[in-house]
Each structure stands twice: as C-alpha cells, then as structure tokens.
Amino acid sequence: MSSVIPGEQQSAVWLIVRGKATCDHVGDLFAILRDMLLTARLDNRERFKQIVLEEKAGLESSIAPAGHSMVASYLSSLFNEADWAGEQMGGLAHLFFLRKLIGEIESNWPTVHERLETIRRLLITRQAMVCNVTTEADHWQATAPHLDEFLAGMPNHATTPALWTPTYGEGFVGMTIPAQVNYVGKGANLYDMSYTYHGSTAVVLRYLNTSWIWEQVRVKGGAYGGFVRFDRLSGVFSYLSYRDPNLLGTLDVYDGTAQFLRKADIHESEVTKSIIGTIGGIDAYQLPDAKGYTSLIRYLLKDDEATRQRIREEVLGTTPTDFRAFADVLDWVQEQGTVVVIGSADSVEKANTARGTFLKRVKLV
C-alpha cells in the first residue's frame, strides 16, 4: 500500500499481509503468516526467475485490458513520492524494472539474492509493525494469545525510515503498443494550485462521468469508456479513456470540460441524482473483513472520522453553483496538465505531426 498522508510530507508505504480464518483455525493462519514473512526461501534462483517471468508476463498481458489504469498510475507518479513508489512497485516502471531484473538474475544472482535478504531483514521487524484483528468480541480472548505468540516470534531490531529521492518520470509521453486503440490520460495535481478539497468535487465528477465525458468520449468518440478521477489525499486529478480510437480528439474533449460546466443547464434533479450516487459510494456496504481492512488503512493514513463527516455534509449540500465554480479549477488542468498516452505508434505519430512532437515516443511492447 502506498499513499499520501494528508497534510504531511511523509508517505505511507506499507507491506500488508492479511488473511482470514475461522476462530478454530486462527492459530494456523498466524503460523502461515509467520512462515511467509520469516522462512520463505529466497535462494532458489530458478524459482525466483520463474516468479519474475510470470510477473512480467502478467503486466504485459494486462496492458490491453487495463491500459487506463496503467496510464493513471504513471500520471500520478509524476506528482508525489507515494504514487512514485506505487508506480515503481506495480506500474509501468515496475515492468521496465522486471525486464532488467531478469538479466541480473542470470548474470549476477549472488547480488540479487543478497538484495532480497536485505529487504526482508529491513522490513520484518516488530518495531515497524502494526497488527489489526477483526473478530467477534466473544472470540477475542481465544485469538489474543495467538497474536501475542506471533509478535513474540518476530525480529525486534531498531529501524529507521528510508529517505527516498524520487526520480520522477516525464510527462507528455506516448508509449506505443501493437494495438489499434489508445488509452489517453491528462492530469495535474490540484493542490499545486492551492486548491482546497471540497466534498462537492466528488458530486461534480460523478456528473461529468455520466454526462459530458460519457457522451463525448464514449458515445460520440467510440471509446469503450471515459472517466474523470480525483484522489483527495494526493490532489491528483486525471482524465482517462479506455480502448479509445482517438487521441487528439479526446484531449480536446478533456480541455472542453470547464466550458461545458459553465454553459450546462444543470437542474436540481441532476444534482440530486449525482449526490445520491456519490453518497452511495462513500458509505458503501462492507462485510466485516472489509470493514476491518478499511479501518486499518484509515489509521495508517490518519484519515479521521471528523474529516469524512465534513465531506459527507459538503456532498449533501452541493448546489449547481459548485459545478460552475469547479470549472475554474479545470481551466488550470487544461493549461498546466500533462499528457500520458498508451496507444498505437501510428496514433502517436499523427498526434506529433499535428501538434509539433509534443509526445515523447517510448516503445512499451
């Protein structure tokens, strides 16, 4: 898990291991978790190489069905440490790393093995560990001794948080794949323009996703999907398209969003419908295991109930005026946003011909 902590320079980047079991087998669950963390063999070169090859193949095969998510990850990684770290561990940067790692496994396995052991030694320590257990009250007394035994068996050496110096990637990049469709993204960090988050933003974005973006990118443009997203923790705002036959046309739609909000005749009924949909997402039903995991994440991110309640109230109080006010924010995205595209070489070449080589070409596959 990698995320920005609101109001802090520090990122929250955690290795999370979790599982679930009936009360009778909770001891077995803790034993499995212990083996995963402490006794997994890291010295088997062929097995490790197989895992890396499978990971690489999985990422490459997921580009077509999840290209928009990869664009979103890359875009976010340009703006803050936490998303940069997430991109290194699971995005396109991770794919490039895996390709390099395969060669290192063959040519310099002792060094790779040493790095693996060092990572485990640094990460697994009781002093840097947080445990969260979700169970019925009647079962806690039976569970607690297993937790105590698990923690007692963990290494307990001192640890110092690493200070990273992110090497941020480039914006305005077109990553080419052998496909006839594109995944077009444009984004910016709204907090860089001193924007202060307001719950009405979530309502406005929901409205855009079901009106302007849907109609222009999906219905008229022929893409399989179009989205706007905003991460209130990091401030990163993104426009995204999915399996899109267009590139420049879609960017023009993105840049026309602010003007759409200013001119649209937004009725109270549409605002109400968007409010209902937004609240449904905020307070979605969760099973007990999901509730427990959510509570852990909120704890790690210092995401308090008072803030969430304020956001709920702002969502419920959204008016058409908030829609028009957000248009000013989107003007800044239009002017200052960066573009990331995964798509066909032909589309990137045509876009560069039309707009003066504004995308740096990178062969992805």
In this prediction, residue 173 carries a pLDDT of 98
In this prediction, residue 161 carries a pLDDT of 85
Closest CA to 363 of 349, 353, 354: 349
Strand spans (E) along 202-332? 225-230, 236-242
- Give CA separation, 199 vs 193, 270, 272, 275, 311, in Å: 18, 17, 14, 10, 5
Q: Hey, which CATH number is domain 2-152, 3.30.830.10, 3.40.50.1220, 3.40.50.740, 3.40.50.1820? A: 3.30.830.10
The whole-angstrom separation of Cα 23 and Cα 137 is 11
Segment-wise mean pLDDT, segments of 10 residues, the chain, 365 residues: 88 95 96 97 97 97 95 97 96 97 98 97 95 95 96 94 89 96 98 94 98 98 98 97 98 98 93 95 92 96 95 97 96 97 97 95 94
What would the two tokens of residue 103 be? Answer: 């060669």
pTM of the complete model: 0.93
CB atoms within 10 A of CB 116: 14
**Crossing angle of helices 109-123 and 45-61, rounded to 10°:** 80
In this prediction, residue 7 carries a pLDDT of 82
CB 117, CB 280: distance < 8 Å: no
The DSSP bridge pattern shows strands 173-176 and 338-343 to be parallel
In which residue ranges of the chain is CATH 3.30.830.10 found?
Answer: 2-152, 173-286+303-363
CB 199, CB 311: distance < 8 Å: yes
In this prediction, residue 162 carries a pLDDT of 85
Strand spans (E) along 270-325? none
Helices (H) and strands (E) in the chain, counts: 16, 8
In this prediction, residue 288 carries a pLDDT of 94
Strand spans (E) along 208-275? 225-230, 236-242
In this prediction, residue 78 carries a pLDDT of 97
For every residue of 128-186, DSSP letters joined together read G--------GGGHHHHHHHHHHHHHTS----------------SSEEEE-S-S-BEEEE
CB 221, CB 253: distance < 8 Å: yes
Which architecture characterizes domain 173-286+303-363 according to CATH?
Answer: 2-Layer Sandwich (3.30)
